[in-house]
């Protein structure tokens, strides 16, 4: 039990508890992925082709999508789908550009003659994993590729399962991917990390995926950078007596239909609201076409917690540190200012997670499994490096060298002391 939850003892009761407290046992996944990575690293395209046949039932002759195939995929989109995709791209680009504008280079003269600063440098080559899933997730390539292009990455490649919907290829192309490959799963992560005859090695891999993709990202981290380790989707709602049970239940099930392992929950100060939400979820499941997925997620991971006051509600929410956090209170802006642990926050009843999932402009690739305690989600800053620099004139050397000389001597690091002293004038050395 966390210290935050320990402090809440006696201040909350769970009207509905999750029946599972772990997403899955990953031991077998870890072993399988380790073998896949080793094989792809050793045998390149041949191994990738074998895994595509074994896992995706796809015999892929040419991994890379040709220019003609990209243009055909775009042409085959129905006009409304293309318009909606371009609407999402424009919104994500607009927000990413505004964010990039806040990441500024720095140059200061910290002491006379001592110049310090940093540059904002785009990562050279980025690999975007684009999941296939049960449905064509048209927003997925937008969220990973567009910020990379805004950041100024030299090359952005996309990998997606060979049996992904053709509209996903169109989405990758419209979002700005420089190269697109029909490779999915852990083998795609391995290929992007180490390179094959066909697929270039990248500097950083971003994008969500299944347990095998996630584990592969964990295992190649160090060889390449990664954005984060993402688990199944999550949504929590903080609510008081002014909230609407129908709206909350609808939003919970909208996320629950993602995956049978989706974590969905409510923390509220009002027991009647909690009871109404519980009833409404069951009512809506009776008519929801995706109930075979959503109902399992609700049964296994659904949670409704009633707390005694707003302070306890805030503390409980910060303990959960959910991926998506909706605020349905009398003064949602004020409540939002008190919350600190979440991936992305949706303030007020009109702000649905679905808008961000699809097209409003903020990124939907967000921290899960409590990682909102220490990090935010994918953003344009994920695609740049902040690299420091320094330069000195004689005044700067005079200011810092004596202290560096003395510290090096104290640490018995003679090589350091000599390097620190080398640039001092003879009379300054004599003074030391």
CATH class of the domain whose range is 27-227: alpha beta
CB 266, CB 298: distance < 8 Å: no
**Rounded Cα distance, 255 and 244, in Å:** 17
pLDDT tens sequence across 279-331: 999 999 999 999 999 999 999 999 999 999 999 999 999 999 999 999 999 99
Check pLDDT > 80 for residue 431. no
Residue 66, phi then psi, degrees to nearest 5: -75, 165
Annotated active-site residue in 258, 324, 328, 364: 324
Indicate which residue of 323, 328, 349, 364 is catalytic: 323
Residue 330 sits at φ, ψ, to 5 deg, of -60, -40
Q: What are phi and psi of 70, to 5 degrees?
A: -60, -50
Told to judge if 324 belongs to the known catalytic residues of this protein, a careful annotator would answer: yes
Stated pTM of the model:
0.92
Chain mean pLDDT for the chain = 94
b/e for 387-417, b at 16 or more Cβ within 10 A?
Answer: eeeeebeeebbbebbbebbeebeeeeeeeeb
* CB-CB contact of 258 with 268 (8 Å): no
Q: What is the model's pLDDT at position 395?
A: 95
What separation in angstroms does the CA of 304 have from each of 133, 282, 290, 294? 28, 13, 21, 16
Look at residue 339 in the predicted model and tell me its pLDDT: 98
User: What would the pLDDT profile of 220-232 be if each residue is shown by its tens digit?
Assistant: 999 999 999 988 8
pLDDT tens digits, one per residue of 155-201 = 999 999 999 999 999 999 999 999 999 999 999 999 999 999 999 99
What are the structure tokens assigned to 338, written together? Answer: 């008190």
Tally Cβ neighbours within 10 Å of residue 215. 23
What's the pLDDT score for residue 284? 98
pLDDT one-digit tens code per residue, 358-415: 999 999 999 999 999 999 999 999 999 999 999 999 999 999 999 999 999 999 999 9
The pLDDT assigned to 5 comes to 73
How many other CB atoms are there within 10 angstroms of residue 286's CB atom?
A: 8
Query: Does residue 22 carry a pLDDT above 60?
Result: no
- Total residue count of the chain as it appears in this document: 432
* Each residue's pLDDT tens digit, 239-263: 999 999 999 999 999 999 999 999 9
**Reported confidence tier of residue 24, pLDDT bands at 50, 70, 90:** low
Q: Is 386 helix (H, G, I), strand (E, B) or coil?
A: strand
What is the rounded distance in angstroms from the CA atom of residue 116 to the CA atom of residue 106?
Answer: 8
User: Above 60 in pLDDT, residue 276?
Assistant: yes
Cα–Cα distance between 368 and 370 in angstroms, integer? 6
Residue range 47-57: average pLDDT? Answer: 95
Instruction: Give the whole-angstrom CA distance, residue 422 versus residue 400.
Output: 12
Please tell me the predicted confidence (pLDDT) of residue 362. 96
- Intervals of CATH 3.40.50.1980 along the chain: 27-227, 231-376
Q: Which CATH architecture has domain 231-376?
A: 3-Layer(aba) Sandwich (3.40)
Is residue 323 annotated as part of the catalytic site, yes or no?
yes
* CB 15, CB 275: distance < 8 Å: yes
Tell me what pLDDT residue 10 has. Answer: 77
Q: How far apart are CA 340 and CA 246, in angstroms?
A: 26
- Which one, of 172, 105, 102, 90, lies nearest residue 380 by Cα? 102
């Amino acid at each position: 039990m966390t210290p935050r939850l320990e402090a809440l003892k006696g201040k909350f009761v769970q009207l509905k508890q999750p029946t599972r407290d772990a997403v899955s046992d990953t031991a077998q996944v870890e072993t399988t992925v380790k073998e896949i990575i080793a094989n792809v690293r050793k045998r390149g395209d041949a191994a990738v082709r074998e895994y595509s046949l074994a896992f995706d039932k796809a015999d892929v002759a040419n991994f890379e999508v040709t220019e003609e195939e990209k243009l055909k995929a775009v042409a085959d989109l129905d006009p409304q789908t293309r318009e909606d995709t371009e609407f999402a791209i424009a919104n994500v680009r607009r927000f990413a550009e505004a964010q990039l504008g806040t990441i500024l280079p720095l140059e200061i003269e910290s002491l006379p003659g001592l110049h310090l600063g940093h540059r904002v440098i785009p990562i050279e080559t980025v690999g975007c994993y684009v999941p296939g899933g049960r449905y064509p997730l048209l927003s997925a390539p937008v969220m990973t590729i567009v910020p990379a292009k805004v950041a100024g990455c030299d090359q952005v490649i996309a990998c997606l399962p060979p049996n992904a919907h053709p509209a996903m290829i169109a989405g990758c192309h419209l979002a700005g991917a420089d190269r697109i490959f029909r490779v999915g799963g852990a083998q795609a992560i391995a290929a992007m990390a180490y390179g094959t005859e066909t697929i270039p090695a990248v500097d950083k891999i971003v994008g969500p995926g299944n347990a095998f993709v996630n584990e592969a990202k964990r295992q190649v981290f160090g060889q390449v950078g990664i954005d984060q380790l993402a688990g199944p989707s999550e949504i929590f709602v903080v609510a008081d007596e002014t909230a609407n049970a129908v709206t909350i239940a609808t939003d919970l099930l909208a996320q629950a239909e993602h995956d049978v392992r989706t974590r969905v929950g409510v923390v509220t100060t009002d027991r009647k609201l909690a009871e109404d939400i519980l009833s409404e979820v069951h009512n809506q499941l009776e008519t929801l076409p995706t109930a075979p997925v959503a109902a399992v997620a609700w049964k296994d991971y659904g949670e409704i917690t009633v707390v005694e006051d707003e302070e306890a509600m805030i503390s409980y929410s910060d303990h959960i540190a959910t991926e998506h956090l909706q605020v349905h209170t009398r003064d949602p802006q004020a409540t939002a200012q008190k919350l600190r642990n979440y991936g992305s926050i949706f303030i007020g009843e009109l702000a649905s997670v679905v808008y961000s999932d699809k097209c409003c402009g903020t990124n939907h690739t967000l921290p899960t499994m409590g990682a909102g305690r220490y990090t935010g989600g994918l953003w344009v800053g994920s695609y740049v490096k902040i690299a420091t620099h320094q330069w000195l004139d004689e005044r700067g050397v005079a200011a810092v060298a004596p202290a560096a000389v003395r510290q090096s001597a104290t640490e018995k690091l003679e090589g350091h002391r000599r390097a620190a002293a080398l640039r001092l004038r003879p009379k300054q050395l004599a003074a030391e």
